[in-house]
A and B are shown apart, each in its own frame.
Chain A
Amino acid sequence: MTAAGLGTTPRPTPPGDGPPRPPGALRGWRKALSDTLVLTRRNLLHMARDPFEPAIAITMPVMMVLLFGYVFGDVMAPPGTDGYRAFLVPAMVAMVMVYGVGGTASGIARDTDRDVMSRFRTLPMSPVAVLGARVLTDMARAGAEVAVLLLVGLAMGWRAEDGPGGAAAAIGVLLLFRLALVWLGVLMGLLLPTPDAVSMVVYPLVFPVTMLSTSFIPSSAMPSWLAPVSEWNPLSAVVTATRDLFGNPSLPSDAWPSENALLLALAVPVLAVAVAAPLAVRRFRRLSR
């Protein structure tokens, strides 16, 4: 293709048939996908070379599952159930999904802070590849985190009571939730000025989200003005839906969000991705220019 005639200023004729492309060069979405995979490989190599951060990221939740499981023990069990640990595991996995936001946000902030990003911007590269690679990398991490936490759960006596189909659906709900949080994390990482700012801002934002939910405490035990907040918290819907799909005991509630937990656990993340992903791509394109 030639580019002659574009724009309004007179310009010299571009040479020949446009730029020579590498033989068999990919175009359009194939190039975008290829770029994304190349950069995902780079991100995974970074994790392998600098394993401290991912190691901490997985150690913390395992420690929390063990602490919650054995220290708080049965005092937090919902009335009428006898398996506190069975009740706990889905909530812990969902909570870890939420905390992943910080890792994603600081990851993308580091990505765009590095000098090498300048070079990426001078390449004929798909502009969404950097973000796509961050999303793929963090989803791979999320998959590993879910697997590790469920294995720890199994060791503690948790079981997926409704069989492999329900378990697969529950894992799907958790990963969809994480996908929405990854895109939110990407957007936050692009909006905040430095990786340091990310860690200062994200965790204080995330902590109340995990507490103001029905993950551990029934909304009936909260002040009446607070109960709806925690019932409508998407995390509550995800935890309730996951417990149902795993066949684990749930907190009794007749609030609408609780009755329709699965619907909310699917709709809210899809909506969040639909909003956050285009905003993040737009923000990324505008960085620096």
Chain B
Amino acid sequence: MDNFAILYENLLKFSWQDIVMILLGCLLIFLAIKKEMEPSLLLPMGLGTILVNIPGSTALIGPIAELYEAGIANELFPLLLFIGIGAMIDFGPLLSNPKLMLFGAAAQFGIFFTLSMASIFFPEAKDAASIAIIGAADGPTSIAVANTLGSNYVGAITVAAYSYMALVPVIQPPVIKALTTKKERMIRMPYEQKSVSKTTRIMFPIIITVVASAIVPDATALIGFLMFGNLIRECGVLDSLSDTAQNVLANLITIFLGISVAFNMVADKFLRVDTLLIMGLGLIAFIVDTAGGVLFAKLINVFSKKKINPMIGAAGISAFPMSGRIVHKMGLAEDPQNHLLMHSIGVNVSGQIASVIAGGIILSMFGG
């Protein structure tokens, strides 16, 4: 009879917490496949969550732990992913109108507001700061900052960051509508196509790296890898590498990143009231980011003769390129002739830059 024990003895080790986590893993996989919510990340995360919550799992102490140590604990995976993201971004619309970058800066307000909010519930500055960076609306930045600060909540922060990025089409429109009038949403912004020289396109990533890193040295790795990817794209002599960075590298790292983040998705680290708080604070961060961008655009309109459609400010949240597209669609819904895409995408890529700089600032403040 003892020989049959092997069939059931591990089953008896399952706790209700393990089962809840396995169901959560299934939910992530469901959302990834059925709802197409950031499927490239949520699917590997979901399966990883199942793997690490099976009692006696060899995945937790074996390959997933190794991948975590090799790629997340030292920030390598998020940084490598930035090369791919940098190679995907066309800074052309931004270079045509560099002032759009101001909206990217304004839309980081949610990060710092959430830092204050999180300090109400989390005594340790490293945790409050890591939760605040969910407002960067940029998964790799959130993972890199939370890990560097040694937060106890990396798993929950990653889930919140990617979930809300996928929910940007649900979160942003009501906030934008609440803060703008129909008349404001109908403001037309004709796009003046300005030619941007190849030299400018090549110098831009180098200049951003130098300027941002000189003032915020903690952002050097984040901004440097992002701009490295963009330099590969724009230099014109590395098309093959650019293609690899945009596709193969980004996909490969996303697979490893997703499954190794699950290292933090074990029941005793995740099933806490704190996780619900983090999800709530992450939502606040996204809402305040959106509001910050919109209200800043409205403020500019008070002083400017040439009116700006305040909706484009919302695209400064990062979440590239989804946020830019949402603003464009909202513009078309109000007025079918109002094409805001080039402006909103310009603001959106500036949000990507500003969110990385904000991550560096948070590291400077709390990385000590």
* A, B co-complexed: no
Question: What is A's interface to B at a CB cutoff of 8 Å?
Answer: none
